[in-house]
Amino acid sequence: MKPSHFLRLFSGTILAASLASASGISYTCGANVAASTCTYLNTTIAGLYNSTFTNANADIYIQYGTTGLASTSSVGNQVSYSDYVAALAANPNKNALQTSALASLAANAAGPYESGTVNLSTGLASTLGFSGLSGVDASGGTVCSFGAAGCYDASITVTNDPGTPLFYRNGTVTADEYDFYSAIEHETDEVLGSASCIATTITPLSNGCGGNTPSAVDLFRYSSAGNLVLNSSLSTTPGAYFSYDGGTTNGADGNVYNTLDNGEDYADFLSNCPAGPLSVQDAEGCPGTSGLDITNDGGAEINILNAVGYDLAQPVTAPEPSTMMLLGGGLLAVGLKISRQRKLA
């Protein structure tokens, strides 16, 4: 299975000294999505994000179609590195983790990236107060002016392959079923800003956002204390991890990123299916498991989204340590795959 999360690149401008007002996460469902499923998405799943973050904003279209386990079509917006850092610094609600993350940018990321741009998801860019953004229509195939009717932050497609059964948390999950809602959370994290600009499909370890452009999360990937994994190096060194304090702490509950030339997302965690422990941001879905979400898998996704610009509703203590891709303003592919542990019939 090949991932298929798409990022097209556009420029954004920052609103003067103003952060976007919070409207929350919501899901708009296509005609092929059951009403009960849509209700659960907009109560339980959206509720997780809306109770965790005070400023997370995204209207996400949900549909079934031909894909891997789940995939997302969304727009990436390039803003200057200095404007991104300024937006983070201007936030009056910074917690200790965000303050540490800003310090790590100054110490390690400013040198290689300060003269360039950063690729932000529409959800993150709008939350931070940027304007002039683009979104996608329900099909995910057409770019539109963000804020216009029928223009979404992203369009998520979940597989309709009868050979890949889905579990909707009704009854007992079977050994070959994938939790639909955990897959949606994985994609929602990427819609909000957990996706990388480095791709491991088609051309090994290519920079899909052009030049040496990082995504927000790429600014916090380390191989050791003080050693940021740079986009320009396209490193395949195993063991890279998310850190909000310059590499001193693994802030992802001990998880490490996929950095291998294996076609999986560079910003997903190496999968531990079926042995575990499991995380929403694992590169592959794990059949036979249910109820995994961003609040019960160690909190890695919460820490990552907190660092890139989302404010927490409650204070927390520092945590324990073949899809197309056109470079230079084109298309980047990342996404959630079907576990290789399971053989499809």
Q: Where are the alpha helices (DSSP H) in 93-144?
A: 96-104, 110-113, 122-127
For residues 27, 33, 36, 39, the Cα torsion angle rounded to the nearest 10 degrees is 10
Furthest-apart CA atoms within the chain: distance in Å: 55
Cis peptide before 92 (omega within 30 of 0): no
For residues 197, 274, 303, 255, the Cα torsion angle rounded to the nearest 10 degrees is -70
Question: How many residues are listed for the chain in this entry?
Answer: 345
- Rg (Cα) of the chain, in Å, rounded? 18
Q: Which amino acid is at 300?
A: A
Pairing of strands 178-179, 166-167: parallel
Give the tens place of pLDDT for each residue, 146-195.
999 999 999 999 999 999 999 999 999 999 999 999 999 999 999 999 99
The two three-digit tokens of residue 236, written as one number: 């395949």
The two three-digit tokens of residue 180, written as one number: 């639909």
The structural domains of the chain, with segments of one domain joined by +, span 5-338
SS (H, E, C) 181-238: HHHHHHHHHHHHHHCCCEECCCCCCEECCCCCCCECHHHHEEEECCEECCHHHCCCCC
Q: What pLDDT tens digit does each residue of the chain (345 aa) get?
A: 333 443 444 444 433 323 334 479 999 999 999 999 999 999 999 999 999 999 999 999 999 999 999 999 999 999 999 999 999 999 999 999 999 999 999 999 999 999 999 999 999 999 999 999 999 999 999 999 999 999 999 999 999 999 999 999 999 999 999 999 999 999 999 999 999 999 887 678 888 888 899 999 999 999 999 999 999 888 887 899 999 999 999 999 999 999 888 888 899 999 888 888 999 999 999 999 999 999 999 999 999 999 999 999 975 444 443 222 222 233 333 456 665 433 222
CB atoms within 10 A of CB 227: 14
